[in-house]
Amino acid sequence: MRHTEATWGYGQEDHTRQLTAKGNQQALDLGVWLSDQRHVPTQALVSDATRTQQTFEALNQKCPVLKSKKLYLAEPKNIILEIQKVETDCLLILAHNPGLAELAAKITSPNPSHHQFFNYPPGGTLVLEYNGENYGNQVVNFITPDDLSL
């Protein structure tokens, strides 16, 4: 999952950017969707940036969370290295673009047909089923906050 909508302004420190009111609502809606769809994480791996931490809090998921400095603006290979350190049944990764979008495109085949998949907008959420036996990933869903407001 990419963090939801955050503030942006001249001279603003990127690492400490906060969610907008819209971003907070997007995260709340995504949290309800995760629960309704039974995609409830058993562990979360979250960038240490303010906006990702706030997104996780607003999701209202009751799982342990690991904060990772290495996920902040990480490249796909670094995201994978962080993922490999975690053993759990259902892992929520909350990070940033462009690394998250690049990773999603690399590990899905075929890619989801969703018109926003390659843009991976704020709140973009990819649900995968991972099969460690044959190292395959099956796309379960890709959704954006806009899909929830239709």
| Per-residue pLDDT tens digits of the chain, which is 150 residues long | 999 999 998 888 999 999 999 999 999 999 999 999 999 999 999 999 999 999 999 999 999 999 999 999 999 999 999 999 999 999 999 999 999 999 999 999 889 999 999 999 999 999 999 766 555 688 999 999 999 986
> Which ranges of the chain does DSSP label H, i.e. alpha helix?
21-36, 50-59, 76-83, 99-107, 145-148
Query: What residue has token string 């670094």?
Result: 78
In this structure, which topology does domain 14-148 adopt according to CATH? Rossmann fold (3.40.50)
Are the CB atoms for 132 and 14 separated by under 8 Å? no
Give the CA-trace dihedral at 21, 123, 39, 33, to 10 degrees. 50
The domain locations on the chain are 14-148
Are the CB atoms for 72 and 60 separated by under 8 Å? no
pTM: 0.94
